[in-house]
Structure 1
């Protein structure tokens, strides 16, 4: 988050090795930031979640047919540009 320009403070990182000795909720690392940056941080979080959803989709390459994660711009196999929106995968059902 600091790489994205946030004034972030990390708290509790020294407690993580104590997992199992004390309750797990006490060992969570917390990110603290000023109130005025919370809305922008939530926007960044939404972008990250959207990227995860794209990565879970598979896009078939129009040239070689290999499947690549939906967040790739180029095919991992032949470096062909991938379509922006993946075509739905159809399969026969019996």
Structure 2
């Protein structure tokens, strides 16, 4: 049909990606020795947990407290990246 009325218009529907919550993983944490209160800011590994940390001041070996996966989760200002990514407040990256 030439010159006639146009056919029905189709509504264009934009496809959207599902919403995802994006959180920023902090890669530094300040470890505070429970023996001498010395504080040091350290970089955290992203692929494993740091089981022990030696205090640079008193040389105490900081090991995770019961229920924590690493020294950062026990003595740091920020939990380890694996726990941050899991978003779990139980502070256990090993399941």
Instruction: Give the TM-score, by structure 1 length.
Output: 0.24
Instruction: Give the TM-score, by structure 2 length.
Output: 0.24
Task: Find the structure with the greater CA-based Rg.
Answer: 2
The higher relative CO (CA closer than 8 Å, separation ≥ 6) is in 2
